[in-house]
Structure 1
């Protein structure tokens, strides 16, 4: 794969996807640029679910797909797994121990996923249990990363994963040092990548937990929703 020189790394639901007109305008703008903007999708969805959304929303296939909140990385036209990343994700990962502890909390319901590269739960009207679960996992010394977002979603991931860690890996391996980069998100599981220090945008329709994060010099807070906010931010950073 050639080194990337211009890259949009974006969440899908509520960020790139969510406003058809703004999405069409953004893609038309990118098509008119002299240099290709490489699309990297960074999503909480698993691989097959992400592909279904890509088809439903009629958006271009990405050059790189980061799935499952950063536990999967798929590369190239065939979106083949990055095996080096896969091996890293398996290190110290113990989903059975996590599920055993989470079973103590009846209001925290496990989501059905095709594999256990991550474990995700939905909280049913009891956010107090979230902190208790988080604390119990820490006390058990189980290597993991804990992400709570949108007031209802818990993602428990391998310790070296997450959208920020996965995107850092992609940038170091596949992106030119002088590349133009924009990172876009709308919810709490995007905070890690939005906070890496690269040019980033929080779209106007973002969840409160992302809106509340600390500013950094390269963070742009859009006034438009979804793809409109991405377009606004790209012009802010790169329209010379």
Structure 2
């Protein structure tokens, strides 16, 4: 796969998707630029669910698709799985032990997923989620714990997450001098928003990101969804061609 010259790495739900007019404005701006802007979708959805959203919302086909909260990376014209990342995510990964640890915790409901690259739950607030985290630590089960939207619990392989998958992908697939923008709206985007690349929190972001301070690399948009991404792209890289 040829190295990507410039990249927008964005969450889907509530960020890139959700405002048709804003998305048209963003894509129209990219069409005026002298060099193409490639897309990486980084989503909590699994592959089939992401593909369904892309089809239903008529979203552009991305160059990179990172699914399951950063545990699976697909690339190339046939969206083949990145085996190197897959091996990293399968090392010391024991999903059945995680399910056992959650079995007697009230307020947790295991999500039905097509594979066990991650184990995810709906939680009735923070307390059941924290009880699960305590059990995983007590049982010495290697993992990454992510709680977002006051109900979504994602247990990932150690070293997983959107931020680590993004860094791996940029190192492997993106040119060193590329213009990069990262975009997100919720707690499971936090590690990629703080990965050190220019990033934007769109204005419709969930309250869990309200306390995150903006700095030289993290921009708080005044617009929601894709219009906020456009605002941030122009903030970091200007409005011209």
In the TM superposition, residue 32 of structure 1 has moved relative to its aligned partner by 2.0
Shift of 1:217: 1.8
Q: Tell me what 2:18 maps to.
A: 18
Equivalent pair of 2:214/2:220 in contact (CA under 8 Å): no
Inter-partner Cα distance in structure 1 for 2:217 and 2:8 = 15
Shift of 1:127: 2.5
TM score, norm. by length of structure 2? 0.97
Match of 1:138 in 2: 137
Aligned residues between the structures: 239
CA–CA distance in structure 1, aligned partners of residues 237 and 123 of structure 2: 40
In structure 1, C-alpha distance between the alignment counterparts of 2:55 and 2:28, rounded to whole Å: 18
Q: Match of 1:182? A: 181
Write the distance in 1 (CA, Å) between the matches of 2:130 and 2:159. 21
Matches within 5 A, 1:60-209: 60-124=60-124, 126-209=125-208
- Alpha-carbon shift at residue 34 of structure 1 (Å): 1.1
Q: Which runs of 5+ in 2 are unaligned?
A: none
Rounded to whole Å, the distance in 1 between the matches of 2:80 and 2:209 is: 31
Paired residue secondary structure (2:195)? coil
Instruction: Report the Cα distance in structure 2 between the residues aligned to 1:27 and 1:101, rounded to whole angstroms.
Output: 45
Aligned counterpart, 2:44: 44
Q: CA deviation at 1:215?
A: 3.2
- 1:65 is paired with a residue whose SS is strand
Determine if contact 2:106/2:128 at 8 Å carries over to the other structure.
no
CA contact (8 A) 1:119 1:155 kept: yes
Partners of 1:25 and 1:9 lie apart in 2 by 17
Instruction: List per-residue Cα deviations over 1:165-208 (Å, max 9, x = no partner).
Output: 00000011111111100000000000000001110000000011
* Aligned match of 1:3: 3
| 2:237 is the counterpart of 1:230 | no
Cα distance in 1 between the residues matched to 2:84 and 2:27: 32
TM-superposed deviation, 1:213:
2.0
